[in-house]
Amino acid sequence: MAGEVQYDKVRAVELRDGAVHLIDQRVLPLEVRYEVCRDARQVAAAITDMVVRGAPAIGVTAAYGVVLAAAGAYRAAGPGWRAAMAGDMECLRASRPTAVNLHWALARMEEAMAGLGAEDPTVPLTGAATRLHAEDIEANRRMGVLGAALLPKGARLLTHCNTGALATGGYGTALGVVRAAAARGGVAAVYADETRPWLQGARLTAWELVTEGLPATILADGAAAALLQRGHIDAILVGADRIAANGDTANKIGTYGLAVLARHHGVPFYVVAPTSTIDRACPDGSGIPIEERDPLEVLAFRGVRHSPEQARAWNPVFDVTPASLIDALVTEEGVVERPDAGGIAALFGAIRPA
């Protein structure tokens, strides 16, 4: 709408000058620093090390990693570039196991590669990756509009982890809904769970909100229950790293607990994610691999140990929220209320062929 503030200043991933430029999300908000990846192995390391994170952003980054892999392979092997880049492809594929968008993006790029000959693949693969990136941003904008329509005017919202432009190609999934609602003048407050142990909410979501001039209140993860009990939240918005065919959703650890709290307090719980996050080959949440990371991420922060040396830690990155606790799944292709296997199958049945 003409005259609306768009709240769309942040881009975490860019391909320029033959390299992938990433906002280093490990050092935000204290520093805005860019990691420059000049080959596919550096891209894979950036994904693993959480320079970039968030399922859609990982997918976009991996697509650009394929461009670098192909360009390097052509320089090294000429017409034999396909075989020469096989190791880089496997390295990209192994960089994060849970985010299905990674594998989706690599499959998209492999489809683009299938139509190429022995000539230099850099230009056509750059075009394919750029289109994938643009499609992600457009999908996020559509999700923003659809999700904002579910919210009351002057909504007070709670988010978990980071689901904004930093986690996607741009604009964001759940935080894109916040942006869209704010553009209509419809957001009174945004509460961001700090999201231990990496503090994506406190560091990244709050940074995006402040950068856009939107209200931002950070709370400890354990304070969410009290906030809901006091009736201060109108809806909870979260993203997803993988959604099973029945609607079970893997997302940042702590999401499941929020869904239980939301149901107890009668607060709508919305998952906002592109259809590329839905893994139709996975029947339910029990089949979603749950990544576990270094226990030191829980036992220390920024390299400073705060727990006894003898203590151990359990550090799952994600948990699985049963579909029965989700009030609506918002995708770029439409909203699935009370998602289940039938609703998700119907969603894909309604999607027009590409």
Look up residue 315 and give its amino acid.
N
Cα(125)–Cα(121) distance, rounded to whole angstroms? Answer: 6
Distance of alpha carbon 111 from the chain centroid: 23
Vertex 108: Cα angle to 106 and 110 (nearest 5): 70
Core vs surface per residue 303-318: b (16+ CB within 10 A) or e: eeeeeeeeeeeebebb
Catalytic site residue 39? no
Task: Give the other-Cβ count within 10 Å of 167's Cβ.
Answer: 30
- List % helix, strand, coil for the chain (3-state, nearest 5): 45, 20, 35
Which residue of the set 241, 279, 327, 340 is catalytic? 241
Interhelix angle 122-148/55-77, rounded to 10 degrees, is 180
Report the distance separating Cα 150 and Cα 329, nearest Å: 11
Give the span between the Cα atoms of 39 and 49, in whole angstroms: 16
Distance separating alpha carbons of residues 270 and 220, to the nearest angstrom: 21
Active site residues: 241
